[in-house]
Structure 1
Amino acid sequence: MSSAVNHITVDCVGDPYDLARFWSAVTGDPLADDDFPGDPEASVIPPAGTGPRMLFVRVPDTKTVKNRVHVDLKPTDRTRDEEVTRLLELGAALVGDHRRPDGTGWVTLADPEGNEFCVERSDAERAGHRPDDAGA
């Protein structure tokens, strides 16, 4: 017997819809059809079979310590550094830069509610070339 991860639940004190919109822009996945501003919960729904939903739920208490669980993102069509720039433009905040001179490492960011997540190198970068010149 086993279980599948159905949701990754993220607490927030602000509007769950706003935080879901941020994560929808991050992942490119849509919000649930029945989500609306001011709703006490909102979901980002990936295509069937590609991963769990992200569920954002309003809670009364603010975040006070480092996350014990976090999401690691791997860019699919750009470099890690390009993705970090894009996410900062979307409203993420820089928490820690763990990039190394040899190109390895990751960047820790926080979403608009302060929940940390990491951005790793893309598969193309791990293979030694940029995502946009994968055929070269």
Structure 2
Amino acid sequence: MTSRFTELTVDCRDPERLAAFWCEVLGFEVIERSDGKVEIGSWVPTVEEVRARQMPPTLVFIRVPEGKAVKNRLHLDVSPIDAGTEEEVARLVALGATRADVGQGPGRSWVVMVDPEGNEFDVLRTLAP
């Protein structure tokens, strides 16, 4: 018996805002929304497809009353596919992200950033041709 990684859930104050940010970052679309919850993804999951093989997980943003208090124990890594790392960082800053210092030190090949609600994520090396 096995399980599939199907969703990554992010607690936040404003699910609509955070979902819109991550849709722009990843090229995802909203696939479901309800009161206090927005799910985004690159595909619309079906039980049959998930059972057949591991598919890319969706992101689910759920409204919670409290704000973020400490450094994330889990974070996303993104890799630009059609621009350099610094160009992607500039695009993400324009979307509302900011650079962050979490003690990573100088000379790293990745850039630590935070989304509009302060959740850390990394921009890794470019995959552009």
TM-score bucket (shorter structure):
0.7 to 0.9
**Distance (Å, rounded) in 2 between the aligned partners of 1:91 and 1:98:** 23
Q: Calculate the TM-score normalised by the size of structure 1.
A: 0.79
2:89 maps to 1:74: no
| Unaligned runs of at least 5 residues, structure 2 | 45-53
Q: Is the 8 A contact 1:99 1:106 kept in 2?
A: no
Q: What is the number of equivalent residue pairs in this alignment?
A: 118
CA distance in 2, matches of 1:99, 1:81: 15
The corresponding residue for 1:128 is none
Provide the C-alpha distance between the structure 2 equivalents of 1:44 and 1:98, rounded to a whole number of angstroms.
Answer: 33
Instruction: State the AA in 1 paired with 2:113.
Output: L
Contact 1:99 1:107 in 2 (8 A): no
Tell me the distance in 1 between the aligned counterparts of 2:82 and 2:18: 23
After superposition, residues 1-136 of structure 1 pair within 5 angstroms as 1-13=1-13, 15-32=14-31, 34-35=32-33, 39-47=35-43, 50-96=55-101, 100=107, 105-123=109-127, 131=128, 134=129
Shift of 1:65: 0.4
Larger RCO (CA under 8 A, 6+ residues apart): 2
Following the alignment from structure 2 to structure 1, what is the Cα–Cα distance between the partners of residues 68 and 86?
27
Q: Using the aligned pairs only, state the percent identity.
A: 41
Mapped contact 2:6–2:55 kept (Cα < 8 A) = no
TM-superposition CA deviations, 1:34-77 (whole Å, max 9, x none): 437xx300011113665100000001111110000000001111
Residue 112 and residue 84 in structure 1: after superposition, are their counterparts in 2 closer, same or farther (change >3 A)? same
Stretches (4+) displaced over 3 A? none
When normalised by structure 2's length, the TM-score is 0.83
Q: Which has the higher strand share?
A: 2
**TM-fit CA distance, 1:2:** 1.6
- The alignment yields a C-alpha RMSD, in angstroms, of 1.9
